[in-house]
A and B are shown apart, each in its own frame.
Chain A
Amino acid sequence: MAQRSAAVLTPQPIAIPVIPVREILPWALFGGLLMLLALYFVGAEQGATALLHGRAVHEFVHDGRHLLGFPCH
């Protein structure tokens, strides 16, 4: 009896799933690129390089860019 309850109470070793790289890769490419693009617009657009004309993007995220530690001006 004692043995059986001990067996029930002892946590079974759990193997968390390993996801093969070929399954992650498409998401990493598309998701990763999208994320990096977002970071680029927050952190660098219209600073060292510019995809869009003007200063509007830079000025809009200005305070966040300074406080998040990206080089701004």
Chain B
Amino acid sequence: MTRILLVRGMLAGLVAGLFVFALARWIGEPQVERAIAFETVMDHARGEAPEAEVVSRKVQGTLGLLTATVLDGTAVGGIFALAFTFAMGRLPVQSPRNLAALLAALGFVAIAIVPALKYPANPPSVGNPDTIGIRTAAYFLLLAFSCALTALSVQVAMRFHRRLGAWNASLLSIGFFVVAATVTCHYFPDFDEVPAGFPVTLMWKFRVASLAMQALLWSVLGVVFGWFVEKVVARRSTHG
């Protein structure tokens, strides 16, 4: 059962990754191109030679992007399937499709929204290469905190489910999560490394594109996975 769900999660993630690739081609790549053009102009102004190309821009924007989005989707789908397998029957949601949708919503908030609010996606030419170590560590540590807080919030909802009812227990749990995530983010380091003169509208469009990709990834994953596993789970369910 676990193996079947894992494989279907990876397949659903692969499908989601293809959707994300299409969206990235459409609204993401133009922003990456503009940011690289800005970087080239800045390098020229400083009299620096542009970095030697290891992989051509064409490959980066097509095959490279496809590999990244599909691999990311498949891996997220696999982890999602493991979380779903564990949550099945342990959360008070009976329909597999509802459970998949709920977990996808939780994953979107925990893995995409919270880290992006503190450390939003940066286009090329933003970010100091000297701080990549601490920025990477802070990003993944915040990701871990966010996932742990989400799991804890679900526990809070479960604990008060019977006493307060579903609505109030959910509100309490969401309130707990928002406060805890805000406090956690407050104590994480800030990085302000946007170069002077970087176009504000380009930054906005790039970050909206990045968030839209995450929204698409998690919604397609949640819907497609629920659809893929509905029958498998129903066959194993016991009536009565």
Contacts and interface: CB of A to CB of B under 8 A. Distances in A.
B89 interface: yes
A70 B54 CA distance: 20
Interface string B54-80: 110001110111011101101110110
B69 A64 contact: yes
B47 interface: no
B157 to A, nearest CB: 18
Contact of B129 (A49, A66, A68, A73): A73
B79 A35 contact: yes
A67 B60 contact: no
Given A62-B64, A67-B206, 5 more contacts: A15-B89, A38-B71, A48-B133, A63-B65, A69-B116
A64 B122 contact: no
B124 interface: yes
Interface residues of A, number: 45
Contact of B78 (A23, A35, A67, A73): A35
Given A42-B68, A61-B68, A48 B59 contact: no
Chain B interface size band reads 35 or more
Given A27-B3, A36-B75, A19 B88 contact: yes
A36 B96 CA distance: 25
A21 B86 contact: yes
A61 B24 CA distance: 13
Interface string B115-155: 11001111110010100110111011000000000000000
B84 to A, nearest CB: 10
B85 A63 contact: no
Contact of B85 (A19, A49, A60): A19
Contacts of A17: 1, 88-89, 233, 236-238
10 contacts: A14-B239, A18-B88, A38-B75, A42-B68, A59-B54, A60-B63, A62-B124, A66-B210, A67-B209, A71-B136
What are the 5 closest A-B residue pairs judged by CB atoms, nearest first?
A64-B68, A18-B89, A48-B136, A69-B121, A38-B75
Nearest to B126: A73
Given A42-B72, A68-B69, A69-B214, A24 B86 contact: yes
Contacts of B135: 48, 71
Given A17-B233, A18-B89, A32-B79, A73 B132 contact: yes
Contacts of A31: 6, 78, 82
A61 B90 contact: no
Contacts of B206: 67
B67 A68 contact: no
A36 B111 CA distance: 14
Interface in B209-236: 209-210, 213-214, 233-234, 236
